[in-house]
Amino acid sequence: MDLPLLIFTDLDGTLLDHQTYSFEGAGQTLRRLRECSIPLILTSSKTRAEILKLQERLGLNDPFIAENGGGIFFPPGHALSDVAGAIPFNGHRGVVLGKPYAVIRAIFANLKRKFHVRGFGDMTVDEIMQHTGLNREAAALAAQRDFTEPFLFPAEELPEEVEKAAADAGLAVTRGGRFHHLMGAGQDKGRAVAETVRLFQEKTREQIITVGLGDAPNDFSMLQAVAIPVLLPGPDGTFADLDIPRLRRAPFPGSRGWGMIVASILDEVAQQRCDDGNAGPRNTTGSAPNR
C-alpha cells in the first residue's frame, strides 16, 4: 500500500447511488485508490455473487465482506487466501462468520407462520426486481444467498416480538436500506471488519489506518470498528441517528459524497505522512489522524 490505509465501504446508498446503483460520482477517487494500491474492501449486505460482479465493474481484486459480515472472501492468489480457517468458495477462499442459509431459512419458516413477513427465498426473480429496482441479472445474483435472509414487513417499524422470536432461535435482525435482514446472532459488519484488519496486520506487520463508510443502521458496527468512520446522508439529505467518536459526515448522498470525502481523507493521510518525514503514521487502527 502506498498509503497505510484500509477502506471498508457499504454499497447501496454509499458507494452506489440509491436509485440507480451508479458509482459515477466516485470515479476519480476510485482511480486514485487503484493508483495508490489502497485496498477497497466492499462490506455489504449483498451476496458473494453480487459483489463479485460489482468488483468486475469496479476493477477490484481485493478481499470483500458479504451479507452483513457472514463471510470474508479472498481472491485467488491473494496474500491472505491461505489464512487459518479459510475454506474454498467457488474459486475464492473464505472465512465463515455466519450461519448457513439453510439454517436461516428453516428458522425463517417459523417466523412466517407467526408474522406477516416475506423473504427473498419466497420471491421470484421478478418480485426481487420489483422490490429492489435491480435488473434481472442482478436480482438473480441477489437470490444466491449464503448466510442471511432479507425480508419485508408490512409496517415501517418491526415489532419487538419478531426480534425476540429470532433471538430465541439464536438469530438476530438488522435493518438495511430497504430490508430487514435475518442472520446469525453475533454476526455483523463490525466483527468481520475487525477480523479483516487483524489478518492484514498480521500479514503486513504495518500499522494501518482504517476507514469505514456507510449510511444505514446495519453499517453502525462497521463504523464503530474503524479509526475514521464516515456516515453518508440518505437520498433526502438526512442522516441516520448515530453518535460515535470521530464521526465524519459526507456532504452528499451516494457516490458523489463518497468520492469527495474519501478524496479528502487521502489528502489528509498523505499530508500527515509527509509531515512525519515518511517515517510512517503515528496512528493505528484505534485513532484517526488529526484534522
- Of the listed 10, 12, 62, 215, which one is catalytic? 10
Residue of 226, 267, 191 whose CA lies nearest to 36: 267
Residue 199 has pLDDT above 60, yes or no: yes
Residues 6+ apart with CB under 8 A from 119: 105, 108, 112, 149, 150, 151, 152, 182
Task: Place 90 in a pLDDT band, splitting at 50, 70 and 90.
Answer: confident
Least-confidence region, from 73-77, 113-117, 272-276, 287-291 = 287-291
pTM of the model: 0.88
Residue 56 has pLDDT above 90, yes or no: yes
- Percent pLDDT > 70 in the chain is 92
Active site residue 10: yes
For residues 40 and 157, the model is more confident at 40
pLDDT, mean of residues 8-27: 95
pLDDT, mean of residues 73-89: 89
Grid cell, residue 63, equals 478481499
pLDDT, mean of residues 16-29: 94
What pLDDT score does 278 carry?
A: 52
What pLDDT score does 287 carry?
A: 40
What pLDDT score does 158 carry?
A: 81
Domains identified in the chain and CATH numbers: 5-98+188-275 (3.40.50.1000), 101-184 (3.30.980.20)
Task: Place 136 in a pLDDT band, splitting at 50, 70 and 90.
Answer: very high
**Region class of 277: left (phi > 0), else alpha (psi between -120 and 50), else beta:** left
Dihedral sign of CA atoms 80, 144, 174, 10 in order = positive
For residues 285 and 183, the model is more confident at 183
The answer to whether the beta carbons of residues 217 and 175 sit under 8 Å apart is yes
